[in-house]
Amino acid sequence: MTDFLDLSVVLYHPDPELLARSLDTIGAAADRLAAAAGVQTRLWVIDNGAPVGSDAGANPFRPLLDRYADAGRPAVTLIAGHGNVGYGAGHNLAIRRGDAPYHLILNYDILLEPDALLAGWRYMEAHPRTVLLTPKVFGPSGAQEFLCKRRPTVLDLALRAFAPAAVKRLFAKRLDRYEMRDVTRDAVVVGLEQVSGAFMLFRRDALVRLGGFDDGYFLYFEDFDLSRRAMALGEIAYVPDVRMVHFGGKAARKGGSHIRMFARSALRFFNTHGWRLV
């Protein structure tokens, strides 16, 4: 019987060119996984930006997704018409319908390296105690990004999200520690506390036990919350052989509505996992 990997991507009015590039890299990585390990990748695309009640068959991204599948890959399942339910809740729509041994939660604004899925699958197969895997991430410039985090304080979040550059320089050592720059480099690291929702490769049985994302987070901190809950079920591993490029931005750069969402989600996170001010 052919093994499968489920991979879900949530969209909300994406940049069409970047989405096309992302799908090309997902397809190349999926082809590599299929050729080397016999594992097929089933892609789930959740369009939170489609009008409520709209027909997935008439979705403007349907031709792009059909082109992806026309390369001999499994057909893409497009979920649309439910409205903007939030990032985590969008992924949950696919998580609850999938049944593969592993489920990859992925942003659309990424470019996977060709061996990313194969390296991730091989690591998970060889390390049964690992329930969640996170990759080595680079920005568009080629510089490494540090998306693994230690448990935050309110001060850490305020400095990182909103402080001007001059203030951040005064707290550089503190912020470097929060971003785990001292350890997440070129070696595998296990025992992580919090990882980014841009790429979360889960063992499915663990993800089901956790119930997926907490739908109470509309945007921001849903990944930190899920990571912290996953710690109780097994190891969270940083695996630098799994690589991708990430084009994401920060909440403070996106305007007042994102700052308000960030604050609401931070409040929910600290109320759930405990407050640490400084």
Q: Are strands 189-190 and 110-112 parallel, antiparallel or unpaired?
A: unpaired
Q: How many helices (H) and strands (E) does the chain have?
A: 10, 10
Q: What is the pLDDT of residues 204-257, one digit of tens each?
A: 999 999 999 999 999 999 999 999 999 999 999 999 999 999 998 655 556 788
Q: Does residue 138 surpass a pLDDT of 80?
A: yes
Q: What is the mean pLDDT of residues 14-39?
A: 98
Q: Does residue 87 surpass a pLDDT of 50?
A: yes
Q: What is the pLDDT of residues 243-256, one digit of tens each?
A: 999 998 655 556 78
Q: What percent of the chain has pLDDT over 90?
A: 94
List the domain boundaries for the chain. Answer: 3-273
Q: What is the pLDDT of residues 1-25, one digit of tens each?
A: 469 999 999 999 999 999 999 999 9
Which pLDDT does position 230 carry in this prediction?
99
Residue 263 confidence class, pLDDT cut points 50, 70, 90: very high
Which pLDDT does position 1 carry in this prediction?
42
Q: For all residues of the chain together, what is the average pLDDT?
A: 96
Residue 72 confidence class, pLDDT cut points 50, 70, 90: very high
Which pLDDT does position 5 carry in this prediction?
98
Beta strands in 60-214 (DSSP E): 77-80, 102-106, 110-112, 130-138, 144-145, 189-190, 199-203
Q: Which CATH superfamily is domain 3-273 in?
A: Spore Coat Polysaccharide Biosynthesis Protein SpsA; Chain A (3.90.550.10)
Q: Which comes out higher in pLDDT, residue 258 or 205? A: 205
- Cα separation, 8 vs 6, in Å, equals 7
Which pLDDT does position 251 carry in this prediction?
54
Residue 258 confidence class, pLDDT cut points 50, 70, 90: confident
Q: Does residue 128 surpass a pLDDT of 60?
A: yes
Which pLDDT does position 253 carry in this prediction?
57
Distance, C-alpha 98 to centroid of its chain: 17
**Residue 112: strand, helix, or coil:** strand
The DSSP line for 189-213 is EE--SB--TTEEEEEHHHHHHHTSS
